[in-house]
Structure 1
Amino acid sequence: MADEAELREQMIDAFENADYPVSGPMDLVPALPDGPSTRFESGDFSMTAMELNTKTAGGDFPYEDVDSLVDDLIAELKAADEL
């Protein structure tokens, strides 16, 4: 089972250096340590940033800060039964 707090921390670490506000998923790519191949893992959960983008609705852009972005991503993963 995935640890939500661990995933949240990984996502914040990966997305926090984006140039906020961000207007779409492509604005996040330069901030990712391994680009679209950046992987988020916890327990039995493993997903790249690219997979994350395809498994979620993509968020409610624009985002002013990393916390609101990550909150929405976690909520969307839960709604899609990925978490």
Structure 2
Amino acid sequence: MSVKEDIYEQIVGALKGANFPIQSPEELFDALPDGPNTTCKSGDVSLKASDAGKVLSEDDFPFESAEDVASTIVNKAGL
């Protein structure tokens, strides 16, 4: 599994049970188990939710699913 796929799956897993749509970065952080401190790791790559939040823009919202969040973050983070 590639780093991108691994991080993607971890984001989807972290958002299991979240209520969608998610309308804002604050709602996204609230949906994560450790809020902005939620961290996904694969090999020597580490992606903290607060860092991922820096690559998201207002235009990315609302998110309709965990998969939508994960694909947007991994693509915008350049993984």
TM bracket, shorter-chain basis: 0.7 to 0.9
Contact kept? 1:22, 1:61, Cα under 8 Å: yes
Q: Secondary structure at the match of 2:41?
A: strand
Q: 1:18 and 2:18 equivalent?
A: yes
Aligned to 1:57: 56
Moved over 6 A (4+): none
Contact kept? 1:18, 1:30, Cα under 8 Å: no
Contact kept? 1:19, 1:27, Cα under 8 Å: no
AA matched with 1:65? S
Q: TM-score by structure 1 length?
A: 0.79
Deviation of 1:6 (Å): 1.0
Q: 1:72 and 2:72 equivalent?
A: yes
Aligned to 1:9: 9
Q: Equivalents in 2 of 1:66, 1:35: separation in Å?
A: 15
State the structure with bigger RCO (CA 8 A, min sep 6), 1 or 2. Answer: 2
